[in-house]
Structure 1
Amino acid sequence: MLKKVLIIGMGSIGRKHYDAFTLLGCTVKAVSKHLAQNNHNIFRHLTEGLQNFQPDLCIIANDTADHAASLLEIRAYSENIRILVEKPLFNMPQKGAISHTDNIFVAYNLRFLPIIQNLKRQVSTKNISSVDIYCGSYLPNWRPETDYRCSYSASSIRGGGVLWDLSHEIDYAQWLFGDLSLISSLCGTFSTLEIDSDDTALILANSPRCPAISIRLNYTDQIAKRHIEVLSSDETLYANLINGKMSINGEIQEFQQNIQHTYLMQAKALLQDHPDINTCTYENGLKTTAFILRAKELSNDQQNQTNL
């Protein structure tokens, strides 16, 4: 089992990984320019952390725009280090070649929610006619202790925007129903939030297992909601990812919901010799990135045509 874990980036997500791996008995150190002073567990630079700590596993949890550079630096140092990249994998087409990708994974930890895993079992044999996925909440409420305008979510250059921030929905749609094919897309900044990233995305797609999939994402819903509705030939299935309740033709099942627990389960999976089948692979992470880039491009093309 892997034991030495290096986390690159110690924002709110980096700290969640730190807590999970520490709880599992790992020796955990981090790379952070903000927290390095007088802390022997913090390195200011990735090179320093790799050379002095020699980790078994690296967690890339810095800004999305910096993921590729961190990946390339780790791979230049060693092809044997297992890597978990925070979602999304990239926010732009990847130009530099990443070697030895079979031990690189992407942190789509919602796959470890019991309600999502039950949903995967439920839909595996169904004749599905349509799926509606929704995730919306108010960006200023995400991190109440900080100014939302200074967050990476507010900045397109740093990798913000709902399609990147809420790409869990794209990932689990593909995990549950197969690779998505894009039909239509509308993305943009339509609210009064003081951001330059997209605050709304409306996606229409299909997949090998479902002819009609809608995905609606936003930073603007004052009442946080996250759900998926699946219509099949014999069932209406509704899963609320916030309260952990699943309805099948009106009959309610309840699941324990604890997001931090998903980080713990993901960490356990990554520490094994062969990571759990629920863990998102590099290849699947690339598919999600490619789908988002196509959605943004199609939205721009459609809006440009409308403005002609």
Structure 2
Amino acid sequence: MRIFVVGLGAAGRRHLANARALGHDAEGGRLGDAEQFGPDAIVVASPTGVHLDALRWAADRGVHAFVEKPIAASSAGVGEALAVAEQAGITVAVGYNLRFHPALEAIADAVRGGRIGRLLSVRAEVGQYLPDWHPGEDYRTSYAAQASLGGGALLTLSHELDSVRWIAGEVDAVQGCAVHVSSLELDVDDVAELVCRHAGGAVSSIHLDFLDRSYNRRSRWVGEEGTIAWEWGGPARLLPADETLSAATPDALEGTYLAALQDFVEAAAIEVCEAVAAALPEV
């Protein structure tokens, strides 16, 4: 498959290397360079604020699209772009690679398998001090720090929103706030706190921040018959039995990026095969 990576920042360079590692003919650059390359698929790794432009470009040309999370800076125009993509028969995926993390996969299997009974509540949180993200770079110039580029804790740290919805189910109602509370020089929110009510009845609380001086990512899943606790890099444990559902995985992150891209490529290949089959004359 010919894959063009739009945007060659840190995320884009990783996607380009992974696409090549998976054996694909891959190049990268600006969206304007993609036409000449003639891709079967694009990976959108540009700032969040321009994700939708790239998705529209792909949908209009019948090119599969893997869009880094989140899919866009707001919901405006997303539905229309996805409708065009569906009409074109292309695969669109969003890069929530933590769905492929062994611990979260184990948690999802345990919750769906009834290991803790009916899910009642979830607490998920992530925090990391924004100036520490890319040592040697001025955090104020990063997309995460700028509203015009689709930054802010709520959008940039949205993995937890996705994983909770993925495991706990659709959200029926949500309340919360996303605000700037620190002395960091940003024009976006640096902390967000959400409370969600899920269709199955569970309640979740989700915390996201650019402020924690020590990297923090953890979640706790409380059911009628047990609890699952997980902290980044450590095991996922079923309590009170203290059963290990997933062993400690301190080096699992890189593999999730590769797995997410591979999953997208396989889905896109199915779409291509079905399109080719549909175009074949009946014998």
TM-score normalised by the shorter chain: which range applies? 0.7 to 0.9
Instruction: Give 1:254's aligned residue.
Output: 247
1:269 Cα shift? 1.2
The alpha-carbon deviation at position 100 of structure 1 amounts to 2.1
The size of the alignment, in residue pairs, is: 257
What is the letter of the counterpart of residue 218 of structure 1?
Answer: D
Match of 1:57 among 13, 26, 41: 41
Letter aligned with residue 234 of structure 2: G
After superposition, give the CA deviation of every residue in 1:223-243 in whole Å (9 maximum; x if it has no partner): 111011011112121011x21
For residues 33-112 of structure 1, what are the structure 2 equivalents within 5 Å? 46-50=31-35, 52-76=36-60, 78-79=61-62, 81-95=63-77, 97-98=80-81, 99-101=84-86, 103-112=91-100
* 2:148 alignment partner, SS class: coil
Unaligned segments of structure 2, at least 5 residues:
271-283
| Distance (Å, rounded) in 2 between the aligned partners of 1:210 and 1:12 | 39
The answer to whether the aligner puts 1:160 opposite 2:151 as a matched pair is yes
Gaps of 5+ in 1: 33-45, 277-308
TM-score (norm 2): 0.86
User: Helix, strand or coil for the counterpart of 1:220?
Assistant: coil
Aligned to 1:270: 264
What is aligned with 1:16? 14
Residue from 221, 230, 234 that aligns with 1:244: 234
Residue 210 (structure 2) aligned to one of 216, 219, 229: 219
- Residue equivalent to 1:117: 105
The one-letter code matched in structure 2 to 1:54 is G
Once the 2 structures are TM-superposed, how far is the Cα of residue 132 of structure 1 from its aligned partner?
A: 0.5
Deviations 1:217-274 (A, max 9, x none): 110011111011011112121011x213112113344143421111111121122256
Question: Of the two structures, which has the highest relative contact order with CA contacts closer than 8 Å and spacing of 6 or more?
Answer: 1
| Alignment root-mean-square deviation, CA | 1.8
Instruction: Say if 1:189 and 1:198, in contact at 8 Å, map to a contact too.
Output: yes
- Compute the displacement of 1:48 (Å): 3.5
**Which residue identity is paired with 1:201?**
A
Q: What secondary structure sits across from 2:66 in the alignment?
A: strand
Shift of 1:68: 1.2
Aligned-partner residue type, residue 261 of structure 2: A
**Which residue identity lines up with residue 23 of structure 1 in the other structure?**
A
The SS at the match of 2:49 is helix
Separation (CA, whole Å) in 2 of partners of 1:176 and 1:211: 11
1:292 paired residue number = none
User: How high is the TM-score relative to the length of structure 1?
Assistant: 0.79
Contact 1:177–1:210 under 8 Å retained in 2: no
1:40 maps to which residue?
Answer: none
**Per-residue displacement from partner, 1:39-97 (whole Å, max 9, x unpaired)?**
xxxxxxx34322x2111110011011111111222233x21x21101100011232373
Is the deviation greater in 267-276 or in 4-13? 267-276
SS of 1:193's equivalent? Answer: coil
1:5 corresponds in structure 2 to 3
* Aligned-partner Cα distance in 2 for 1:234–1:275: 42
Runs of 4+ residues over 6 Å off in structure 1: none
- 8 A contact 1:114–1:255 mirrored in 2: no
